[in-house]
Amino acid sequence: MTINVAHRGDSGDCPENTLAAFRSALALGVDMIELDVWWTADQALAVTHDPTVDRCTNGVGVLEQMTWQEIRSLDAGAWQGQEFAGEPVPSLGEALDTIGPPTQINMHLKTCSDDPAFERQVYEEIIRAGARERALLVHDFWPSLQRLRDLDGALEPCLLPRGETSDWREYISDSLSRGLRVLQPGRDMMSAEFCEAVREHGLQANVFYADTEEDMRQYIAWGIGGILTNFPTRLRAVLEAL
């Protein structure tokens, strides 16, 4: 069965990566919620997607050069509708506390740092929230995932495809060589052959992304394990119709 992964929460109907978007996705009964995590200038863990705050808040600036207090003072909701005015950028802790079991958490780590304190802090938040068994840790920066795995071998890391490669055979081979069990391919990798190879190797793959019913049905027919979508309500309807 294909799982419903709410990309940045219920981001088609709510401001992405906010508690409002996460609560809306939870109300829909999604299987997994995807969110993005950055380290701020004063080493707080902020949940937002872009390297700047320009697009999704009423502020301007490079996120990693801003303090948590500066980021927290911004409005991250009004851009998508006045009913969301005042929604703040959440901390990772707030997000984890909001997304309770049994919902899985797809944590896309965005900061690339040589300082292992970033991974240690992420891990401590996961443990504090009791989310260790539900967390998928996603990054395109292997040293970060390796440090997390060194902290706790039971964590589930997922390395994104490297560079601009669309060679799914290389992606599967690379993940297997690192002992990874979960893939998160882009749409350019999707095919019946890819999905069959994933199953043959005993792996799980969640595609980024599908927003149209046509794409959702196609990926489900191919046997994809999960679909990241900005419209989890739409995907739920497609899955229920099967």
pLDDT greater than 70 at residue 165: no
Across 75-86, b (16+ Cβ under 10 Å) vs e yields bbbbebeeebee
Residues designated catalytic: 7, 49
pLDDT of residue 164: 59
- What is the C-alpha separation between 216 and 239, in angstroms, rounded? 9
pLDDT of residue 109: 98
Task: Note whether 220 and 236 are within 8 A (CB).
Answer: no
pTM: 0.98
| Residue whose structure tokens are 């919620």 | 33
Q: What is the pLDDT of residues 38-75, one digit of tens each?
A: 999 999 999 999 999 999 999 999 999 999 999 999 99
CA dihedral 221, 227, 233, 239 (to 10 degrees): 30
Cα–Cα separations (whole angstroms), residue 222 to 32, 188, 216: 20, 14, 10
pLDDT greater than 90 at residue 162: no
Q: What is the pLDDT of residues 98-136, one digit of tens each?
A: 999 999 999 999 999 999 999 999 999 999 999 999 999
pLDDT band at 137 (very low <50, low <70, confident <90, very high): very high
CATH 2.40.50.140 holds for 3-35+101-240: no
In the chain, where the domains are located: 3-35+101-240
